[in-house]
Structure 1
């Protein structure tokens, strides 16, 4: 074999190796990563929202197949998103954490898909889902803040096995939950007494009325019913009649509820991140349907449990979930 033949043979072998390398590189997702921009909008820059952001970021960056860049905004929301766009950063998806962020984002003029998180399902269904921004198919979805009604009744029935009556105040936002509550009433055999609060009604007076005739009071998220002005007065009503209040947050347990059923910011962030990854992996980048929290926590107030021990049969094993 001549020298030229040997050179030609080696050249062809080198070409083949280069071709194989390029082919493998282009076909291997680990080498050719998708670039995805995510904007996370926090309603506040407080500890719970920071916990949410930290866990969301941990969930998203665990995907080694994609190059995910996360941009966090917690003030001047519309202006900040416009500035990102002006600098050449266009979000592929937006995550809204909390009610304030949600209310601002539906004013956007873009078509970026948004997952709304850390807000009550009633707020999403009443105000966000039917907004001009979200009327377009596959533009919006959500991970709700509160627990599904059926789960709440199941835990209440386990924790208070002798309960026969349960008082609930529903306001303008939470009235949409009434049918779900009535279905749970029938399923679990608990007599539910509902007070429908209208604008101008005093929730503390309604709580006082329900506390006279109910064996427990279940708090349903509604800013017109449970807020800084009313929560203490509602708790005092339940103390006066020696009945437990069942809350929906750590704050309620700290303030004096017997127990709360809630999902932590980290739990909701993990689920929000998984929902986003599901959308990213779908062929059309479609958002899944809105979801209630999958993971949850039952937290008990030991002091309240001791004070009510003589009046109620309480199974504290409900916190072992």
Structure 2
């Protein structure tokens, strides 16, 4: 895609909340910095019409709802999706080509390395999966084995399975690694999961900043600005003639800590800055 033929970029948001707006603002600012004449339109998925995309050189879908709506269209310009889990991306994409992504979830090895750095005394990592998230949990289990941790998973078919699964996962402690599977971890189930883990003295590691506020000890996540920045890099490369439309894990990440919950569990954690710097240093090693 050359700059001469790059008529416009359309950003399609799953919803109008501030998280999606932050993504759109950061993405637009960064693309316009290097392509000041670029026309960038931002719409919500409810406003989506196939003809609105016909002149676009690139369409950016933000969130799972936007991704599903865009991939349901018979044809689109090249698509770049973000703020959705890898499993959702792979399921929705099917056999479509010219579709890239920056996932919301982190590389499996990064989650496990954080556990190693922050909670070195814990050797058992428990996970909950549905049929839709089994592949992702299998990758996490493999990463745990590679770093000499004992990974255990319980399959959840119904919300009523969650509490018995926690009891089976943690007979004598460990750490619960939450995954972006909304059939298990959602606004309805999360308070019970966090409370059940706390009562068993099991720290929870989340995948968004909201998890720390809700009661997770740690959260490893990429902010909307960090995801948007990576998407802007891909967009700039496309506008400058690249044909690569990759599917990538986030490069940049943040770590959040709930000090109150950590103290209640008797955990003495390094600061979020120190953990992030140690994790970044570890990832730079060959």
TM-score higher than 0.5: yes
TM-score, normalising length: structure 1 = 0.80
In structure 2, what is the equivalent of residue 118 of structure 1?
Answer: 83
> Partner of 2:30 in structure 1?
59
TM-score by length of 2: 0.89
- Pairs aligned (count): 275
Deviating 4+ runs (over 4 angstroms): 32-35
After superposition, the Cα gap between the structure-2 partners of 1:47 and 1:116, relative to the gap in structure 1 and judged at 3 Å, is: same
User: Separation in 1 of the partners of 2:241 and 2:4?
Assistant: 16
Q: Which residue of 1 aligns with 2:202?
A: 243
Offset at 1:229? 1.2
Aligned residue in 2 for 1:109: 74
Aligned residue for 1:177? 136
Question: How far does the alpha carbon of each residue in 1:13-32 deviate from its partner, in whole angstroms, 9 at most, with x for none?
Answer: xxxxxxxxxxxxxxxx9xx9
Q: Contact conserved, 1:166 with 1:190, CA < 8 A, in 2? A: yes
The residue number in structure 2 matching 1:231 is 190
Which secondary structure does the structure 1 equivalent of 2:34 belong to? coil
| Residue 70 (structure 1) aligned to one of 8, 32, 40 | 40
Instruction: Measure, in 1, the Cα distance between the counterparts of 2:62 and 2:139.
Output: 25
Q: CA deviation at 1:256?
A: 0.4
Deviations 1:102-128 (A, max 9, x none): 111112133311001000011111x22
Paired residue secondary structure (2:131)? coil
Q: If you compute each CA radius of gyration, which structure gives the higher value, 1 or 2?
A: 1
For residue 119 of structure 1, give the secondary structure of its aligned residue in structure 2: coil
1:91 matched residue in structure 2: 56
**Contact 1:193-1:214 at 8 Å conserved across structures:** no
| Greater length-normalized contact order (CA 8 Å, ≥ 6 residues apart) | 2
Distance 2:75 2:40 in 1: 18
Contact 1:147 1:293 in 2 (8 A): yes
**Counterpart residue number, 1:306:** 263
Residue deviations 1:179-205 (CA, integer Å, cap 9, x gap): 322321221111111112225653233
Equivalent-residue separation in structure 2 for 1:314 and 1:189 (angstroms): 21
Hey, what's the Cα distance between the residues in 2 that align with 1:166 and 1:248? 15
Residue 40 (structure 1) aligned to one of 6, 11, 29: 11
Q: Would you say 1:50 and 2:14 are equivalent positions?
A: no
Instruction: State the distance in 2 between where 1:36 and 1:164 align.
Output: 53
In 2, distance between residues paired with 1:304 and 1:157?
19
| Residue aligning to 2:284 | none
RMSD (Å) for aligned C-alpha atoms: 2.1
2:250 corresponds to: 293
2:65 aligned partner:
100
TM-superposed CA distance for 1:211, in Å, is: 3.4
* Counterpart pick for 1:254 among 213, 236, 243: 213
CA distance in 2 between counterparts of 1:229 and 1:212 reads: 25
For 1:227 and 1:179, how far apart are their aligned partners in 2? 21
Compared CA separation, residues 136 and 181, structure 1 to 2 (3 A): closer
Q: Does 1:140 align with 2:99?
A: yes
- Aligned-partner SS, 2:171: helix
Question: In the alignment, what sits opposite 1:198?
Answer: 157
